[in-house]
């Protein structure tokens, strides 16, 4: 029984941390405005959290493997096609955007 209790607690904690991270990284301005609205409304619940579903989508980060014909810019760290290489210095490759 004690083991089951611990498992439930860790799951809940993980979920809360994920939600916090999502709010802080992806939706911080909205989160602040929500707090302000709640303060002003004072007791009017049912407003919900705007963008709740949006936050869930933001948590899904697709990691796309770098293909052979792609490179990672050493300045903006975006993966780009090799046709966008503007300058190469040793192991550092810079894209056309960064080299302007
Ligand atoms: Zn770049």
* Tens digits of residue pLDDT in 4-24: 666 666 566 666 667 767 666
Q: Distance, CA 91 to ligand 1 centroid (Å)?
A: 14
pTM above 0.75, yes or no: no
What is the distance between the alpha carbons of residues 67 and 81, in angstroms, rounded to a whole number? 9
Asked if residue 35 has pLDDT above 70, the reply is no
Are the CB atoms for 64 and 55 separated by under 8 Å?
no
Q: Distance, CA 80 to ligand 1 centroid (Å)?
A: 8
Q: Choose between 43 and 100: higher pLDDT.
A: 100
Asked if residue 45 has pLDDT above 90, the reply is no
Q: Distance, CA 82 to ligand 1 centroid (Å)?
A: 12
Q: Distance, CA 47 to ligand 1 centroid (Å)?
A: 42
Reduced to 3 states (helix: H, G, I; strand: E, B; else coil), residue 51 is coil
What is the distance between the alpha carbons of residues 36 and 25, in angstroms, rounded to a whole number? 19
pLDDT band at 54 (very low <50, low <70, confident <90, very high): low
Q: What percent of the chain has pLDDT over 90?
A: 30
pLDDT at residue number 25: 66
């Amino acid at each position: 029984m004690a083991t089951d209790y611990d498992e439930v607690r860790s799951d809940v904690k993980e979920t809360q941390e994920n939600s916090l991270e999502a709010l802080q990284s992806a939706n911080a301005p909205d989160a602040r405005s929500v707090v302000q609205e709640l303060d002003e409304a004072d007791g009017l619940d049912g407003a919900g959290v705007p963008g709740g579903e949006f936050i869930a989508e933001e948590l899904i980060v697709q990691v796309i493997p770098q293909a052979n014909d792609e490179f990672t810019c050493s300045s903006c760290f975006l993966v780009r096609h090799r046709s966008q290489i503007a300058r190469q210095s040793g192991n550092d490759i810079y894209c056309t955007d960064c080299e302007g």
